[in-house]
């Protein structure tokens, strides 16, 4: 689907696009022309490419979902960004990071946005709506500012994603400290995988926006560069947060292993206490159990009528002493 809108400081006009001639008319109209391409066929993509002089490799980059980048072509700049959001998987039914490419083609007085998977990409549709509702700040700026607004929306969504990941890590830490379970380590590994996937997006994204922020692209006007520098600063912060959360997941995993090890040590300590108590008792019953009645080698106390109660009392006394000792040592 192809939509076209032309706007300036005073007016906003929609243009119907049925063929290449309509695209040429929209491009030549006075003002800023925005062509929005979503879930388009190859024929529609070819028509847009011919009308605005887009290289077929640029279209393929958007369609093949390559890493974010900025490239300069004759008459326009090509910026490829990626959205990132936590969504439930088709097979795992657990939240995982899903990305979607947005191709931004910025000319002197026109901008083309291409999305290939979804008709409704908030980063594009929300900015498009701000033009339709005649937001004054948008109408007074050129296509480079519209591209900035789309990119800024994408980066803001990154912060929302990291907030969700941070809450998940905090929840896992609390659960590990209270009731460690193998399912928690699986959840922690899932968070680490998500952060790794996200890292593969934000690092090249930072480099791509850095090119725009440095003023290396002629289509980005000087008054707009400061906005791109602001986005670049946000991406630097996001990269730092991503690395921090990766360190937190490693630390949380170490906490889990320490808690499990401590729990194992507590079990072994209790078993040691039981074994230590029974060692002298086993020795006593073993010694007297090896003596047989009516034999000259019998111990003399076996004939004592109070021998059995004395042995039981003695064993109880030894057990009591050991229990008091372990209590003082805080083993029990």
CA 253 centroid distance within chain:
16
Token pair belonging to 16: 């119907």
SS3 of the chain: CEEEEEECCCCEEEECCCCHHHHHHHHHCCCEEEEEEECCCHHHHHHHHHHHCCCHHHHHHHHHCCCCEEEEECCEEEEEEEEEEEEECCCCCCEEEEEEEEEEEECCCEEEEEECCCCCCHHHHHHHHHHHCCCHHHHCCCHHHHHHHHHHHHHHHHHHHHHHHHHHHHHHHHHHHHCCCHHHHHHHHHHHHHHHHHHHHHHHHHHHHHHHHCCCCCCCCHHHHHHHHHHHHHHHHHHHHHHHHHHHHHHHHHHHHHHHHHHHHHHHHHHHHHHHHHHHHHHHHHHHHCCCCCCCCCCHHHHCCCHHHHHHHHHHHHHHHHHHHHHHCCCC
Q: What is the pLDDT of residue 324?
A: 80
Q: Say what the pLDDT of residue 80 is.
A: 93
For the chain, which domains are there? Answer: 2-259 (3.30.460.20), 262-328 (1.20.58)
pLDDT in tens, the chain (332 residues): 888 888 887 888 888 777 778 788 888 888 888 888 887 778 888 888 888 888 888 888 888 878 999 999 888 899 999 998 887 655 544 677 888 899 999 988 889 898 887 666 888 888 888 888 877 777 788 889 989 999 999 999 999 998 988 888 888 888 777 777 777 777 788 888 888 888 999 999 999 999 889 888 888 888 889 999 999 999 999 999 988 888 888 887 777 777 777 777 777 877 777 787 788 877 777 766 666 556 555 666 666 677 777 778 887 888 888 778 777 777 66
Tokens 């004395």 -> residue: 310
CB 245 within 8 A of CB 199: no
Q: Give residue 230's pLDDT.
A: 93
pLDDT (0 to 100) of residue 209? 92
The reported pLDDT for the residue numbered 290 is 61
Contact between 4 and 21 (Cβ < 8 Å): no
Smallest CA-to-CA distance from 191 within 85, 97, 93 is with 97
| Confidence at residue 57, expressed as pLDDT on a 0 to 100 scale | 87
């Amino acid at each position: 689907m192809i939509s076209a809108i032309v706007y300036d400081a005073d007016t906003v006009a929609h243009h119907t696009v049925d063929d290449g001639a309509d695209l040429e008319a929209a491009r030549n109209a006075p003002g800023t022309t925005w062509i929005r391409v979503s879930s388009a066929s190859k024929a529609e993509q070819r028509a847009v490419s011919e009308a605005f002089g887009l290289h077929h490799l640029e279209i393929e980059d958007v369609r093949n979902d390559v890493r974010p980048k900025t490239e300069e072509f004759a008459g326009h700049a090509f910026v490829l960004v990626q959205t990132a959001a936590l969504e439930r998987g088709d097979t795992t039914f657990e939240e995982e990071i899903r990305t979607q490419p947005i191709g931004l083609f910025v000319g002197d007085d026109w901008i083309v946005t291409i999305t290939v998977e979804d008709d409704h990409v908030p980063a594009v549709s929300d900015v498009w709506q701000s033009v339709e509702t005649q937001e004054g700040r948008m109408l007074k700026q050129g296509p480079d500012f519209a591209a900035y607004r789309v990119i800024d929306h994408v980066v803001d969504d990154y912060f929302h994603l990291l907030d969700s990941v941070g809450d998940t890590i905090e929840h896992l830490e609390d659960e590990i400290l209270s009731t460690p379970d193998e399912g928690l380590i699986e959840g922690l590994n899932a968070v680490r995988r998500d952060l790794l996937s996200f890292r593969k997006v934000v690092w090249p994204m930072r480099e791509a926006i850095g090119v725009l922020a440095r003023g290396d692209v002629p289509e980005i006007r000087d008054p707009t560069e400061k906005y791109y520098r602001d986005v670049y600063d946000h991406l630097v912060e996001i990269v730092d947060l991503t690395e921090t959360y990766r360190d937190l997941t490693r630390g949380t995993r170490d906490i889990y292993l320490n808690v499990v090890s401590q729990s194992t040590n507590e079990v072994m300590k209790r078993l040691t206490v039981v074994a230590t108590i029974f060692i002298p008792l086993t020795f006593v019953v073993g010694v007297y159990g090896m003596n047989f009645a009516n034999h000259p080698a019998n111990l003399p106390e076996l004939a004592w009528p109070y021998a059995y109660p004395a042995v039981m009392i003695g064993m109880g006394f030894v057990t009591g002493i050991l229990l008091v000792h372990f209590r003082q040592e805080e083993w029990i």
